[in-house]
Structure 1
Amino acid sequence: MGKLPSMTWLRGIFANKRRKVEAAKPTFAEPFALDELRPLLRRRNEHIARAMCATTYLGEYYGILRVLCRVLGRYKMYVDPNDHGLSPHLMLDGYWEMSTTEAIAQLVEPGMIVGDVGANLGYFTMLMADLVGPEGKVFAFEPNPQMAFRAERSARLNGFSERVAVCQTVLYGENGRTVSFLMPSDEPKNAYARPYDGEELTGAVLLDACRLDSRPEWLDFDMLKIDAEGSEQSIWQGMSGLLARDRLRIIVMEVRLSRYDGDTAFLRDIMAHGFSMERIDDTAGIVATSLQVLQADWANEDVMLVFRR
């Protein structure tokens, strides 16, 4: 019978195997740089964001459940454990809508004044606050008080308090217009506002809306991101004073043509103010498009558009 291997020899074998396993594991000491957020590096960036994602339950604070997670490998964000739409992606993947994330990273520049209309938890708000730097400013518009609460505290936690203003305001085409604001508790990113016609919607609250050009501090936007679940046309109608300043250069807006009166008339009006129109493609990033293509292929679908002048 042969001699049994010594314990020292066995320990060496197992230690060597352990080192090989550890070496094979992906390790990321730092997140990717923001200028690396582009389609060609998407799979790598998504992999890093997932690897660096972490989630911690912090309990209840004045009736609001708090979960803290790390997104894009760099931002600490408060999310909603009751949310079945956006929060699970942030808690498990560490990012949301990577094609739009890449577009925002491409379009926002240091020193810009940016508006995030329909900010929700503030995912894009945090990214834009980082991109504009200490000389820039981000106004995050979010009527849902629980989402606004989380966005404001996420900004504070990431050191962005001086450059982020959270506005718990519903924007519409008329100052003082009463709107019904419906906030689905299980998917708050789908909250929407509709003109109040005397009939109360179940689960909705009545709010007084205001125009985007109704306050002096809102007139100097260089860029707007608008995702308002059907209110985009009315928000545009409340921007004439802002457009008259001729400073606004970029609008990133989610649209669905079938929602709007006059179909493409809304988009034609935007382009009549000197804006070109592009589309954020899920694969290729920002690509050329036209009203004809939108009508033919996207009339009943949500599509993220980029307007530039």
Structure 2
Amino acid sequence: MQLKALLRLRLTGATVLDIGANKGIYSYWLAKAVGPRGRVLAIEPQPEMAEYIRQRGLGPNVEIVNLALSDAGGVSQLSRKRPGDGSASLSRNIGGSIPVKLAKLDDIGPISNLKFIKCDVEGHELKVFRGGEHLIRKFSPVIQFESTPGEITPLLEFFSSLGYSGIMFLGKTYAQIKDISTIPHPKFGLSGHRDFIFFPKEAIGSIIPQDHDMMRWHKDR
């Protein structure tokens, strides 16, 4: 999501998750969005990047969690080309690997007032959401994630089962997503992926302002 659009969400005092935090860029802006009474969990499996975020000193409302989320606990191999690799993945083999601790989002500790999740885990998004389905159903947060044409269909099915609507980011504009047939593959661009935001109807007017730019493309409000 463009940062301007992110900062227009009503997140003051909320708990938000930056899953796949990497350098902590989203964590920084989310900390501003939630304010001093809010809470940001920056979840990052690469130890070098978790330490990097810690050294940035993003503030007392940012907690760094050095593990990987999935649909089960345990240990797995995180594939990466180099330390700090932004394309490191549990689901894609891109080079070398390091062992990382796994946990389900539902099991990482007490969470309250959860309003927003950003998830960028290079193809492992569906397993993350399945491992956090209890929390998602309990709090109905707005959820942003990245996906590719080959990975989007089961994600659409998952969010449809929760009664969520979807918006696809197209540069400075948006497109409402009903099903895979409404996503022309060329719209994914040269990078092969796009950002999506999914939300329940009750988030409109509470978390997402009625006059937010992306609501102009949402037909079911």
Which TM-score tier does this pair reach, normalised by the shorter chain? 0.7 to 0.9
Q: Whole-Å Cα distance in 1 between the matches of residues 98 and 83 of structure 2?
A: 16
Distance 1:153 1:187, change over 3 A: closer
1:239 to 2:132 alignment: yes
TM-score for the superposition, normalised by structure 2: 0.80
Q: Whole-Å Cα distance in 1 between the matches of residues 10 and 145 of structure 2?
A: 14
Q: Is the 8 A contact 1:114 1:137 kept in 2?
A: yes
More helix by share: 1
- Give 5+ residue unaligned stretches, structure 2: 201-221
1:263-282 → structure 2 map (5 Å cutoff): 264-282=153-171
Q: 1:181 aligns with which of 69, 78, 81?
A: 78
Secondary structure of the 2:107 match is coil
Secondary structure of the 2:110 match is helix
1:194 to 2:91 alignment: yes
1:218-297 → structure 2 map (5 Å cutoff): 218=111, 220-245=113-138, 247-258=139-150, 260=151, 264-284=153-173, 286-291=174-179, 292-294=181-183, 296-297=185-186
**Percent identity (aligned):** 21
TM-score for the superposition, normalised by structure 1: 0.58
Q: Is the 8 A contact 1:103 1:280 kept in 2?
A: no
Q: Deviations over 1:284-306 (max 9, x none)?
A: 2x442332222544578211001
Deviation of the 1:119 alpha carbon: 0.5
Runs of 4+ with deviation above 3 angstroms: 295-300
Secondary structure of the 2:2 match is helix
Name the larger-Rg structure.
1
More strand by share: 2
1:305 to 2:196 alignment: yes
Distance 1:190 1:203, change over 3 A: same
1:129 to 2:31 alignment: yes
Q: Is the 8 A contact 1:279 1:304 kept in 2?
A: yes
- Give 5+ residue unaligned stretches, structure 1: 1-98
Q: Whole-Å Cα distance in 1 between the matches of residues 15 and 83 of structure 2?
A: 32
Q: Deviations over 1:223-257 (max 9, x none)?
A: 10001000001111101221242x13200111113
Give 2:208's aligned residue: none
Q: 1:116 aligns with which of 8, 15, 18?
A: 18
Give 2:211's aligned residue: none
Q: Deviations over 1:180-199 (max 9, x none)?
A: 1023327711111139xxxx
Residue type at the aligned position of 2:81 = P
Q: Deviations over 1:100-131 (max 9, x none)?
A: 22222122521111000011000110000011
Q: Whole-Å Cα distance in 2 between the matches of residues 226 and 201 of structure 1?
A: 19
Q: Whole-Å Cα distance in 2 between the matches of residues 188 and 203 of structure 1?
A: 11
Secondary structure of the 2:167 match is strand
